């Protein structure tokens, strides 16, 4: 699959302003069922027992570190009125990349009903603040070209003075 990377400086990303309507907090294993439902909605996958099972398994694998090493508090969610409506998943050294030690966004999803409100921007900014606390100077995002929301991700990283990588 053809993929792209964007890398942005942490200081620039921490200055981003996003939505204030959602509460941002750390996701835990207890959130896996809601994360699976969010994933299906965000990627336009019709809910079914099989699809929900696959999404649940994928979220478990994220927490298990199969897609890269999670950092303390690097899986963040956005809630409105108690409903999980967005999430960002950040790891270090995903297995599909050469080890760099840089935090990488491996998933950023927003429920379709809540898109266009700056929620993804708020998640990226909060993630960047945490990355700064971990001593990172930049944040990398790997995006699948097939992701229909790619332009919005590029926009967030362009606001944060991105530099494309291969």
pTM for this predicted structure: 0.84
Going through the chain in order, the beta strands assigned E by DSSP cover 3-9, 23-26, 69-80, 83-92, 103-110, 138-144, 162-165
* CATH class name, domain 3-160: alpha beta
pLDDT tens-place string over residues 109-152: 999 999 888 898 899 889 999 988 888 888 888 765 555 555 56
How far is Cα 14 from Cα 18, in angstroms, rounded to an integer? 11
How far is Cα 38 from Cα 21, in angstroms, rounded to an integer? 18
Mean pLDDT computed over 29-37: 98
Mean pLDDT of the chain: 84
pLDDT tens-place string over residues 38-76: 999 999 999 999 999 999 999 999 999 999 999 999 999
DSSP state, 47?
P
- How confident is the model at residue 153, as a pLDDT? 61
């Amino acid at each position: 699959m053809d993929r792209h990377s964007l890398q942005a400086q942490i200081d620039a990303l921490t200055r981003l302003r996003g939505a204030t309507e959602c509460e941002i907090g750390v996701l835990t294993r207890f959130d896996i069922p809601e994360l699976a439902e969010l994933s299906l909605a965000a990627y336009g996958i019709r809910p079914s027992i099989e699809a929900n099972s696959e999404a649940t398994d994928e979220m478990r694998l994220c927490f298990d570190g199969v897609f890269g090493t999670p950092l303390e508090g690097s899986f963040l969610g956005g809630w409105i009125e108690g409903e999980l409506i967005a999430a960002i998943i950040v790891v270090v050294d995903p297995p599909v990349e050469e080890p760099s030690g840089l935090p990488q966004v491996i998933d950023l999803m927003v429920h379709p009903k809540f898109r266009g409100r700056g929620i993804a921007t708020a998640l990226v900014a909060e993630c960047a603040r945490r990355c700064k606390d971990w001593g990172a100077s930049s944040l990398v995002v790997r995006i699948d070209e097939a992701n229909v929301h790619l332009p919005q991700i590029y926009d967030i990283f362009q606001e944060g003075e991105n530099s494309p990588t291969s």
